[in-house]
Amino acid sequence: MSMGGQRLRKLREKLGLTMRQVEYTSRQLARRHRNSRLIVSPARLSVMESKNVVPSMYRLYALSKIYDCSVEDILLLYGLR
């Protein structure tokens, strides 16, 4: 598991969220914004957490809303500014 992915997973776990809960909340966000690119499936989240795959801009936005942090905070988990 990559350091960025490990940090992303630890943040999710610290918040007490399951992958399914992240997906559900991202689907609600996608409906509200009428943009399916905001959906974070468990499979995609698993790839983000287990490999050094930085989320797309849409998923960065969704995760920042779900995790109640900034997009920059998530990018910093991956060592990006």
CATH code: domain of residue 10: 1.10.260.40
Given a cut of 90, is residue 1 above it in pLDDT?
A: no
Please tell me whether the overall predicted TM-score, pTM, comes out greater than 0.75 for this model.
Answer: yes
Say which amino acid occupies 39: I
* pLDDT tens digit sequence for 37-73: 999 999 999 999 999 899 999 999 999 999 999 999 9
Q: How many domains does the chain contain in total? A: 1
Show the tokens assigned to 76.
């910093």
Q: Which domain covers residue 17, as residue numbers?
A: 3-77
CA distances from 79 to 6, 7, 8, 49, 58 (A): 12, 10, 12, 14, 19
**From CA 29, how far away is CA 67, in angstroms rounded?**
13
Among residues 73, 80, 75, the alpha carbon closest in space to that of 15 is found at: 73
